[in-house]
Structure 1
Amino acid sequence: MDFKGTTVVLVHGAWADGLSWASVIASLKSHGVKVVAAPLPLTSLADDVAAVSHTIARIDGPVVLVGHAYAGAVIGETHSDKVKALVYVAALAPDEGETVADVFYRAEPHPQAPKLAPDENSLIWLPDDAFAKAFAPNADPEMQGMLAAVQRPIAIACITVPAGVPAWRSLPSWYLLAQDDRMIIAGTQRFMAERMKAHVRVHSVDHTPSVTAPSVVVDIIEEAIRAAA
């Protein structure tokens, strides 16, 4: 299929940057897909939504918006006529009036999930050992170390502000459910995906499949592109 008419906008989650999408970007581009990774400041939900909106404003033509983890909340708050489909990759999807923290903490965490708390600057950092234990346990040690080295903290203002009417209520949505996720347990993911009435694709992958299983991420994105076209 000719993918040239649609641009995929990839949105990273907390403790990450564009590096987490590197393999997905390379694969999509090799298939002829236009792709952009939107950088988030991770300073507040409103700031992050504005950053994605600014990225979309530079794009001509239809967009498929992809969010990982926390970025699910961001793409849900991003409203643009250019966006034709949403893809959630092990992502959080608060409904109207809910916060990111509400859905993140709705169930008991995985035993190997890190304990999180803001520092004196209201920033939440991921402990270095959490990249191997929970964030990307299926990655090799070198990549786990790289992810830890480039991590970007998330401000508490990102996760404590109630969401508005989410875009998934009116747009076709896909959800990659990561069965082996230790950050956002599979049961929480399934609850959100079913509530969204998303097209759910279940895989035995960890929290960051864009790094550890990029082919399954590419597959669901390309499925969304085909449907949107």
Structure 2
Amino acid sequence: MTSLADDIAALGRTLERVDGPVVLVAHAYAGAVIASTNDQKVAALVYVAALAPDQGETVGDVFYRAKPRPGAPQLGPDRHGFIWLPEPAFTDVFAQNATERERAQLAAAQRPLAAAAIEARVGRPAWRDRPSWFLVAEEDRMIPAETQRFMAERMQARVRTAVVDHLPMVTAPDVVVGVVREAVAATAQ
């Protein structure tokens, strides 16, 4: 999470070690990362409350497409150029459906995102050439559901919606696993 280019390179190194086919799954910023692969082993993409910029856009362009939800934290880089989520945001907007213990663990294990990563323009996204699924998180307080639906429709993704928060892999893992299994089954044929 130091730059989009670094993250794309890390994904590439991982894909080199895997025999295909592969279904890539991304959450939030990582949507831009998985869409930037051109590895032919990638059979499908799954977006879980993720950001999907189109060619020439940045992660920031799609993240700030709609007005932030009231109470959403003002995110900005620290003096080192990294964006940290304020601790109260884990309860208020990031994982409001998580347990208190889960939110504390998430806050303690937080990794910052370099502001440069969300300012980089993306090339032709892989979702233009590969089947994609998009789980729209209806109770997401970080990326408005309206923005998620816009990206999913633009991608022509198979859209699944759920009444979940921004972090359904923690708060509603069965929903996420269901979408991933659907993508795997569809691409295994």
Q: TM-score, normalised by structure 2?
A: 0.98
Unpaired stretches in structure 1, ≥5 consecutive residues: 1-41
The separation in 2 between residues aligned to 1:103 and 1:49, in whole angstroms, is 19
Give the AA of the match of 1:189.
Q
Instruction: Tell me the residue number matched to 1:29.
Output: none
1:215 paired to 2:177: no
Q: How does 1:106-117 map to 2 (within 5 A)?
A: 106-117=65-76
Q: Deviations over 1:178-227 (max 9, x none)?
A: 00000000000000000000000000000000000000000000000001
Corresponding residue to 1:89 among 48, 63, 73: 48
Shift of 1:61: 2.2
Match for residue 61 of structure 2?
Answer: 102
1:174 pairs with 133, 139, 142, which one? 133
SS of the residue aligned with 2:87? coil
For the residue of structure 1 that corresponds to 2:46, the secondary structure is strand
Gaps (5+ residues) in structure 2? Answer: none
SS at match of 2:160: strand
Q: Distance in 1 between matches of 2:61 and 2:184?
A: 30
1:123 CA drift (Å): 0.5
Q: What is the deviation of 1:60?
A: 1.1
1:1-229 maps to which residues of 2 (within 5 A)? 42-229=1-188
Q: How many angstroms does 1:113 deviate by? A: 1.4
Q: Percent identical across equivalent pairs?
A: 62
SS in 2 for 1:219: helix
Q: Tell me if the contact between 2:141 and 2:166 (Cα under 8 Å) persists in the aligned partners.
A: yes
Letter in 2 for 1:66: V
**2: CA distance, partners of 1:107 / 1:61:** 37
CA distance in 2 between partners of 1:98 and 1:44 (Å): 15
Counterpart Cα distance in 1 of 2:95 and 2:59 = 21
Q: What is the distance in 2 between the residues matched to 1:193 and 1:168?
A: 10
Cα deviation for residue 114 of structure 1 reads 1.0
Query: In 2, distance between residues paired with 1:189 and 1:80?
Result: 25
User: Contact (CA 8 Å) 2:2, 2:114: kept in 1 or not?
Assistant: yes
Q: How many residues align?
A: 188
